[in-house]
Amino acid sequence: MSRAAKGAPVSVRFTRATERLLEDEARRTARSRSAVVEALTEEAVRARRFAGIAFRGDDARRRAWVIGSGLDVWEIAQMVEDFGSVEQLREGSRLTERQLRLAQAYREEFPAEIDAAITENRRSPAELRSLYPFIGLADDER
């Protein structure tokens, strides 16, 4: 998620139960309450704007995925690139037109986020071995 310039402070009052949950989440993630509220708010707003998108992953690497597909948005975007078009991917997969449109719309709104994930995934085995000499890669098994 983006880290843009901060806006004006906002005062919010939570119920005691919500406040306890917020404190627990802040402690668990080693973040401030404000950072937790900001992250949860941004996810909630994105999920409402893009109905059918949810978020998963650990706190440091949350990522958007298309509900019902099992795929992250970046994976669908990469598949569109690999197939050459949305139409060809639609014909060659079980993804619905709605899922494809949703992933494309999310990518158009947050291109840096999706493009960074695709770039990370397209790293060559040589680059991965250079960065992480201790890992085993699938092509090492051959």
Q: So where are the chain's domains?
A: 13-49, 52-122
Of 71, 68, 64, 58, nearest to 108 by C-alpha is 64
Q: Which helix (H) or strand (E) holds 65?
A: strand 63-66
Retrieve residue 12's tokens: 């919010």
142 residues of the chain, pLDDT tens digit each: 556 788 888 899 999 999 999 999 999 999 999 999 999 999 999 999 999 999 999 888 899 999 999 999 999 999 999 999 999 999 999 999 999 999 999 999 999 999 999 999 999 999 998 999 998 888 666 5
Do residues 43 and 53 make contact, with C-beta atoms less than 8 angstroms apart? no
pTM over 0.95: no
In three-state secondary structure terms, 112 is: helix
